[in-house]
Structure 1
Amino acid sequence: MPADFDRQRFLRDYWQKKPLLIRAGELPFVDPITPEELAGLACEQDIESRLIQVNAAQDTWQLRSGPFTEAEFESLPQTHYSLLVQAVDHWVDEVSALVADFDFIPSWRIDDVMVSYATDSGNVGPHFDYYDVFLIQGMGQKRWQTGAMCNSMTPRRDESGLRLVKDFQPEQEWIVGPGDILYLPPGVSHYGVAIGNSMTYSVGFRAPSEADIVSGLADQLLDELTEDQRYVDVNAQLPLHPGEISADVVRHLHERVLSMIANPEQIRRWFGKTMTTPKYQHDEHSACCGSHDGHDYGHEQDDGGISDIISLRDALGDGAEVFKVPGSRYAYALADTQAELYVDGECYRCNWRLLTLLQALSTPGHTEALDPDVVSACNADEEAAELLLTLYNRGSLIIG
């Protein structure tokens, strides 16, 4: 973000209201990944990628899903295609670091950073998203057009599998260069076309639908209800007609259902676990996603290293560093008597005195080792040390 970017004004006037082009600041933007490295990721089995070719003459798009092969890339034309790789922040530290500048939005809202490489005239067609997105321009230039607000009733072209807006009419247009950032709120139609070879970093935000919220809360309630809890008649009396469902019955049902979902603790816990569920699951005890200055991300529970609280404290006492696993998601909430840490869809109840640790873990774009002072304090606190050991064993932390 440029130094003069007014975060408070942005939240007041633009966030989830209207687009904003944020021109690059004085510092030059350096791409954290090369097109060749991005193509390498798109060849990996466990990484979601898409290749989109556009036929400008016929106004059609062709969508293919990865993983791809080197031969497929070599057979591509020189222009009119885009490669999109999802969640690159899970695999590349330098890409993950981009989200640190968006700390004026709660970190649990951030979904992932998608990176796209487009050759001249490459694009994914006019479309809209149901979530907020910051489009950071890397190398090259791109022409962005924005149009009307859209929703589920907007006519679309679905033949390519891309769910494109059928009759896109541009209302605003910008040419963006390295370091420029285009913010788009949910529902705004947009169309970006590369001018020469171009890289774009899309910081997307989670926005569960109300249907997902109701369904998720219902699933949690179903897990807690038993066969013994059933409908009962209240104030039974002679009916005016045996076939009528009276207003008293409906009122009773309404009150009963509201009482089931009126517990803020249940809602908070469900929301925390839901918003920290990883986009892509990583294996417990194994996270081979990259490296921190030579520190291998992979670890095994039975490798002879950290296996219990004693070996953990010995390792920390000997100067071992603590890192978050790329792709792991952290958030916390404060209740009346305790704090709750949500990590990768799990909830851990903690004492309030662990707040500094919870905040350190929940910092967005945090790719460096945790502050040594925070780690040292954890080593001196049995509950904090147990929490670190649990997160390590669950595959959410690297200690080494």
Structure 2
Amino acid sequence: MLALDQSDFLARYWQREPLLIRAGVPDFVPPVSAEELAGLALEPEVESRIAECRGDPATAAAWQLEHGPFQPSDFDRGHPWTLLVQGVDQLLEEVAALRSLAAFIPGWRLDDIMVSYANDGGGIGPHYDLYDVFLLQGAGERSWRIGQRCDDTTSLLPHPDLKLLAEFHGEAEYTLRTGDVLYLPPGVAHWGISRGDSTCFSLGFRAPRMADLLSRWLDARLEHLPQSLLLRDPGRDSATAAGEITGGDIDNTLQQLRALLEAGGDDSWFGELVTESVLEPPAGRALRRLHLQLGEPGSARLAPGARVAWQVADTGIRVFANGASEGFPASARDSLCILCAGEPLPLPAVPTVQSVLEFLLDQGALDVD
């Protein structure tokens, strides 16, 4: 867990202000080296990028972006450059363990852990993100300049691949060393520059777009509306002008729509949305199911990259896995919490828990040993 006062952080900084946490991870030993990161970037199934600056970083023409997979020769460059590898927590258990550093933030908010390597002067230029991020310094040192607040109206350089700020107004600067952490809320401009060779671990926390939430919420309501339910207007005023839609017509309609939206209903739409994933069920699912059904000793844990959450329901709990959901008895809660914390669950499991495990397995969210 990060070395900070969690209550104070959530009250004063989360989604509000940047925060530098010196020695946020005391005695931190980076779980992946620059060489290992480069090795991952050679693999075709790994999402990787290299950003290189070949001139004035304030100009779009100076910046080049390449997508992996790469060849070893791609890492021999004469300009400042940065290698970024996405979702390393889904590839290496040692990196996945870093997810627990911010366990006081709901697990459904954590997107992934990106790891970057930069040579001296390397970075990806001045930019801002739409998500919360904890920047954990690995090997070496990296300076971070903190700038202005940004939004959709902020001017960007005309670059086809990178969202580089046209103007950067520095307000603070910090040099991070191994184990230091910098928290940045959405919309805060920042610019990282490596001092010598360095690595950085970025814990990114996504939030669903309000447009997606509204669409999914409305869809859930529409599914349960009978086709025979029509707009009603008893006691209406008489029409005074041919063809007119009056303000009273609009007000009456909005009143009935608000009543429908405010009525209680199934709220599983939220969990299904925030756990959506592109993961495919792993090979050997039938053998894993047989292992569960035979009650053989072993262990189960969430699959790398699985998105799993749960909520209290009227008859127990509702479990969400990679966009799907199903109801289970409340007695399965403790075992589910163990899995969501990234810990292995001993097998065999009691029947109630086994049914949850089979559901997770069907959604590609479970590994069984």
TM (norm. structure 2) is: 0.91
Aligned to 1:11: 10
SS of aligned partner of 1:83: strand
State the AA in 1 paired with 2:366: L
Alignment pair present for 1:283 and 2:280: yes
SS of aligned partner of 1:165: coil
State the AA in 1 paired with 2:344: A
Q: Displacement, 1:356?
A: 0.8
Aligned to 1:69: 70
Residues 186-241 of structure 1, C-alpha deviation per residue, up to 9 Å, x if partnerless? 11111100111111111111122222221232344455556555545544553122
Aligned to 2:330: 352
State the AA in 2 paired with 1:68: P
Residues 141-174 of structure 1, C-alpha deviation per residue, up to 9 Å, x if partnerless? 1110101111111111132421111110110011
Q: Displacement, 1:355?
A: 1.6
Aligned to 2:39: 40
Aligned to 1:159: 159
CA RMSD of aligned residues (A): 2.3
Give distance in 1, aligned partners of 2:138 and 2:310: 33
- The 1:26/1:181 distance shift into structure 2, 3 A limit, reads closer
Give distance in 2, aligned partners of 1:391 and 1:70: 37
SS of aligned partner of 1:98: helix
* Residues 63 and 160, structure 1, Cα contact 8 Å, conserved in 2: no
Give distance in 2, aligned partners of 1:187 and 1:152: 9
* Residues 332 and 356, structure 2, Cα contact 8 Å, conserved in 1: no
* Residues 78 and 119, structure 1, Cα contact 8 Å, conserved in 2: no
* Residues 147 and 190, structure 1, Cα contact 8 Å, conserved in 2: yes
Runs of 5+ unmatched residues, structure 1: 287-298
Give distance in 2, aligned partners of 1:396 and 1:118: 33
- The 1:136/1:265 distance shift into structure 2, 3 A limit, reads farther
Describe how 1:319-330 pairs up with structure 2 within 5 A: 319-330=297-308
Q: Displacement, 1:118?
A: 0.8
State the AA in 2 paired with 1:46: E
TM (norm. structure 1) is: 0.84
Q: Which moved more, 1:351-360 or 1:223-232?
A: 223-232
Describe how 1:211-230 pairs up with structure 2 within 5 A: 211-224=211-224, 228-230=228-230
- The 1:26/1:244 distance shift into structure 2, 3 A limit, reads closer
Alignment pair present for 1:23 and 2:3: no
* Residues 120 and 195, structure 1, Cα contact 8 Å, conserved in 2: yes
SS of aligned partner of 1:143: strand
Alignment pair present for 1:395 and 2:358: no
Q: Displacement, 1:34?
A: 1.9
* Residues 234 and 252, structure 1, Cα contact 8 Å, conserved in 2: no
* Residues 108 and 329, structure 1, Cα contact 8 Å, conserved in 2: yes
* Residues 22 and 182, structure 1, Cα contact 8 Å, conserved in 2: yes
Q: Displacement, 1:132?
A: 1.0
